Copies of this chain bind each other. A is one copy, B any other.
Amino acid sequence: MKTAEITSTGNELLQGEVLNTNASYIAEELTRKGITILCHTTVGDDIVALGSALERAIERADLIIVTGGLGPTRDDITRKAVALSCQKKLILDETAFSHIKETYHCRHMEMPTSNVRQAMIPEGATLIPNKTGTAPGFSLKHDNKEIICLPGVPGEMRQMFQEWVLPHIQETAVIGIVTAHRKLHVFGLPEALVGEKIEHLMAPESNPMAGTMVHEGIITLRITAEAREEAQARTLLDKAEEEIRQLLGEAVFGRDEETLEEVVADLLKKHKKTIAIAESCTGGLVGDLLTNVPGISQHLLEDVVTYTIKSKADLIGIPEELLRKTGVVNPETARAMAIAIRNKTGSDIALSITGVAGPTSPHPREPVGLVYIALATKEGVEHKEFHFSGSRRWIKLLAAKNALDMVRLKLLKM
């Protein structure tokens, strides 16, 4: 397979209510595998429009990936459109039907009869299992071309793409020039500074070549290397990575799909350390991020979201009135929260966050975006002051990421 097209269906995409993240995701993954993307097409829940998009895609590309339209309601038209375009009948797939029935059974719920629609796939198609939802996908070969249909729900689509589509493509791939990619994630430096330091790697003709993108405060360097063989491309990437790490130091925290919270969790595991958290303005976000990492329960002892002054005073062990006078967004409160949660739980590291997420602030002395983050260990307490700006969610996110990064830098020195 050399070329591919991505066809998405759904009125919510066509009318712009929902961003088409599926097309980008698939395009990026296929490009990484050396497949050339020719076109993305988005049509509505309209069997004629989808049919004509499919026919054109089949004319041009070796592989057509369709997302959406596999649900149980009458506006889910992908099964029918693909069957019509390839002149196949829709038949009931018993495995798919059992899976749907089983899913309802496991959830202790009764299956609505219209769910049978989801088990109808074109004759001759191969079922692609969906572990998360009821909508199975399928793959159909037609005129030396292959059409792969996946559900539109991004979580389900991505899991099926990783577990079925990618291994399947690997098997049928063609050999030529190999492109290898690597991502390095950077935290704590301005993007412009990162750009200046690695400018020579960003020239359009350089190989490997790097580009920057920024998401939620994290700068990601996307490095691409081309070579005749994968091993050569990888060696180029290794050299570029080494150079970038030397230039940017500890600000480089992770690689490829690694997240900041995974890196923190891995360091906790590696150093056999425990952590406890007292959050305020982040409202549980730091705990939520850390507990996305499997196995963290061995290291995260407790996370208290002390969202009121009273709950902070209770934690610290001082009268509420006193805290009300001094205010709760200051270095002293942050430090006292960290010490208190460490004393309460006996953790190796204690993290605390107090700040104002906005959109308004109760006190002029505590402006929106002012955040204090403290760390307590047996060696003592330290804190940092931050001045963020932006929406409530943005301030929460930046505070949480900076808190995790402080823990990471601390663990690197432990």
Contacts and interface: CB of A to CB of B under 8 A. Distances in A.
A365 interface: no
A149 interface: no
A358 B291 CA distance: 11
Q: Decide if the interface of chain A is mainly helix, strand, loop or mixed.
A: mixed
B192 A73 contact: yes
Indicate the member of A10, A215, A284 with the most B CB atoms within 10 Å.
A284
A43 B37 CA distance: 9
Indicate the member of A215, A287, A296 with the most B CB atoms within 10 Å.
A287
Contact of A288 (B17, B44, B288): B288
Nearest to A8: B40
Given A39-B43, A305-B302, A25 B16 contact: yes
B12 A222 contact: yes
A192 B112 contact: yes
A304 B301 contact: no
A189 to B, nearest CB: 9
A357 interface: yes
Given A297-B307, A304-B304, A307-B291, A112 B74 contact: no
Contacts of A311: 301-302, 345
Contacts of A294: 358-360, 392
Given A13-B40, A107-B387, 16 more contacts: A11-B222, A15-B28, A19-B21, A37-B44, A71-B191, A114-B192, A115-B192, A134-B192, A155-B394, A277-B305, A284-B284, A285-B287, A287-B287, A292-B393, A302-B308, A311-B345
13 contacts: A12-B222, A16-B24, A39-B42, A39-B43, A40-B42, A103-B389, A111-B192, A114-B192, A279-B287, A284-B288, A300-B305, A302-B304, A302-B306
Closest 4 CB pairs of A and B: A283-B291, A284-B287, A16-B27, A284-B284
Interface of A: 10-21, 23-29, 31, 37-45, 49, 53, 56, 71-75, 103-104, 106-109, 111-115, 131-132, 134, 152-153, 155, 159, 181, 183, 190-196, 199, 202-203, 211-215, 220, 222, 277, 279, 281-288, 290-292, 294, 296-297, 300-308, 310-311, 345, 357-360, 385, 387-394, 396
